[in-house]
Homo-oligomer: A and B are copies of this chain.
Amino acid sequence: MNKEELVELIKKGFLDISKLKLLLSDMNIVDIAEVFEELDREQIIQMFRILPKAIASDIFAYVDIEHQQTIIEALTDSEIGEIMNKLFVDDAVDFIEEMPANVVRRVLKNVRPEKRKQINQILQYPDDSAGSIMTTEFVDLREDEKVREAFDTIRTIGLNKETIYTCYVIRRDRMLVGVITAKDLLLARPSNRIGDIMDTNIVFAYTTDDREAIADLFQKYGLLAMPVVDKERRLVGIITVDDIVDVIVEESTEDIEKMAAIVPLDESYLKTGILQHAKNRFLWMLILMLSATITGTIISSFEDGLMALPILMAFIPMLMNTGGIAGSQSSTLIVRGIAVGEIALGDILLILWKELRVGMLCGLGLGLVNFIRVFIMNNNDWKLCLTITLSLFCTILMAKTVGSILPIFAKRLKIDPAIMSAPLLTTIVDAVSLIIYFSVAKLILGL
């Protein structure tokens, strides 16, 4: 049975509890969570209560935030405690961060003290830091434990899949000294000492490290999990690869939004209100609108020339658009190259030389097409032709240069290169392409 059919049956009340339990037992918890999101309030709570206790908190972690709130508000204090105590700390934090204050108070009141402390600790880390995405559930071993004891520890803790395949070896003062994988343990003899077979070459993060940099490390080293330590290198948590996958997607989305001159949204498109949408787009629109005063002034200053040969006006959008796209192609490639670590600041001359040649090739090709088109459409006026074509060629070269240098300058000045992309580039390329156009026109057409 697929999800839609199940939702249909539940909505119509066709399923009694035992049949529903049977159906759910064979489903993936993520899919069950999706079923919840299709139901109305009463049905959600009814259904949540019949779930086996063992999986209820797992499913809760996958339900979306509104339905999580619905469920929590309907549960008793002791039920809340049960769910929250079983929930991974990072999932609990994700949930609590989105809840109104009264719900947060009620939730924290019913969590056992130790877990409450862990939750409060993670809540204090700044957004986008390693501390904010870590979880505090992990398997920690001691150097003088034996492999056989390690297996007992793993079996007792019995944690979820992501958190058990790498174990962390700590000293008495909780300093991280090594890692050991479940594979190493399986291949070792039961009597081996952990300290003898652990790997002391550890890739780790500090709680304050930026989550994007951590995602890069996961990618570079192909990690499944990474330990997080405090300033004194004491182990405080781990970050698992499933959270990193989310980070990578979110960071790409942020970059894409910045490149399109949007302040990144905190929520998904549909969940963001229209006021917030307007707010996140208004600033850059305003800046671009006002900066167009410059182009307006340039055009006005050449008014006499344009009045003398009005056909020149018709080519302004073509020049500005072609320049605009030439520049944004270059800047987009550089911004992305920097983001994924393929381009370093030292590559600036290499890039400039590359873009100049690419610009030359594109400029020659487009110039040729343009020459033919203008020549045919404007009664073989070769002087006009030459003016437009030469301006186009210079504009493309200029746009490619500016587009490739701006992101690198931004990075050098520690400004986010993605932000440079749309607004500043457009302003510069528009203004300079007009100056090029009118200068060439004066020169060739003598206006």
Instruction: Assess whether A164 is in contact with B151, with CB atoms less than 8 Å apart.
Output: no
Q: Is A232 positioned at the interface, with any CB of B under 8 Å from its CB?
A: no
A72 interface residue per 8 A CB criterion: no
Stretch with Cβ within 8 A of B (4 or more), from A92-100, A128-136, A271-279: A271-279
Determine the chain B residues whose CB is within 8 A of the CB of A362 once the complex forms: 278, 281-282, 285
Q: Is the CB of A278 within 8 A of B361?
A: yes
Q: Would you call A412 an interface residue if the criterion is a C-beta within 8 Å of the partner chain's C-beta atoms?
A: no
Q: Tell me if A140 is interfacial: C-beta within 8 Å of chain B.
A: no
Q: Which of B222, B270, B329, B340 contacts A281 (CB 8 A)?
A: B329
A420 to chain B, nearest CB (A): 14
Which of B158, B242, B259, B270 interacts with A343 by CB under 8 Å? B270
Contacts of A306 in B (CB 8 A): 310, 313
Distance in angstroms between the alpha carbons of A307 and B314 in the assembled complex: 13
Total interface residues on A, CB under 8 Å, equals 115
Identify which of B154, B268, B315, B377 contacts A186 (C-beta below 8 A).
B154
* Contact across chains for A336 and B285 when beta carbons are under 8 A apart: no
Q: A201-B28, A285-B362 are in contact. Are A314 and B342 (CB under 8 A)?
A: no
Give the interface SS of chain A, mostly helix, strand, loop or mixed.
helix
Closest residue on chain B to residue A252 by CB atoms: B252
Bound CA–CA A292/B257 (angstroms): 26
Task: Report chain B residues within 8 Å CB of A257.
Answer: 332-333, 336
> In the assembled complex, which residues on chain B have CB atoms less than 8 Å from the CB atom of A155?
186-187
A219 to B288, CA, bound (A): 37
A218–B238 Cα distance when bound, in Å, is: 20
Query: Given A28-B201, A274-B361, A295-B317, A269–B334 Cβ distance below 8 Å?
Result: yes
Cα-based distance from A159 to B186 in the complex (angstroms): 11
Contacts of A159 in B (CB 8 A): 183
Complex Cα distance A343/B272, Å? 13
- Asked whether, in the complex, the Cβ of B200 is within 8 Å of the Cβ of A183, the reply is no
Known contacts A201-B27, A314-B297: A249-B286 contact under CB 8 Å: no
With A186-B155, A303-B310: A329-B262 Cβ-Cβ less than 8 Å:
yes
Closest to A287 in B: B325
By a CB distance below 8 angstroms, the chain B residues around A4 are: none
Stretch at the interface among A103-111, A113-121, A168-176, A363-371: A363-371
Among B201, B278, B340, contact of A26 (Cβ-Cβ < 8 Å): B201
**Chain B residues in 8 Å Cβ range of A332:** 256-257, 259-260, 262
Q: Is the beta-carbon distance between A274 and B318 smaller than 8 angstroms?
A: no
Other contacts beyond A269-B337, A286-B365, A286-B369: 17, CB < 8 A: A154-B186, A182-B182, A219-B242, A224-B241, A241-B245, A256-B332, A260-B328, A262-B333, A269-B343, A270-B350, A274-B361, A282-B366, A285-B329, A292-B321, A293-B377, A299-B317, A321-B430
Q: Which residues from chain A sit less than 8 Å from chain B, CB to CB?
A: 26-28, 30, 151, 154-155, 158-162, 164-165, 181-183, 186-187, 200-201, 203, 218-224, 241-242, 244-246, 248-249, 252-253, 255-257, 259-262, 265, 268-270, 274-275, 277-278, 281-282, 284-286, 288-290, 292-293, 295-297, 299-300, 303, 306-307, 310-311, 313-318, 320-322, 325-326, 328-329, 332-334, 336-337, 340, 342-343, 347, 350-351, 354, 357-358, 361-362, 365-366, 369-370, 373, 377, 392, 396, 422-423, 426, 430, 434
Per CB-CB distance, the 9 closest pairs between chain A and chain B, nearest first, are A292-B318, A260-B332, A252-B252, A296-B314, A278-B361, A222-B242, A295-B317, A268-B342, A269-B337
Give 5 pairs: A residue, B residue, CB < 8 Å, sorted on A: A245-B245, A285-B396, A292-B322, A295-B314, A295-B318
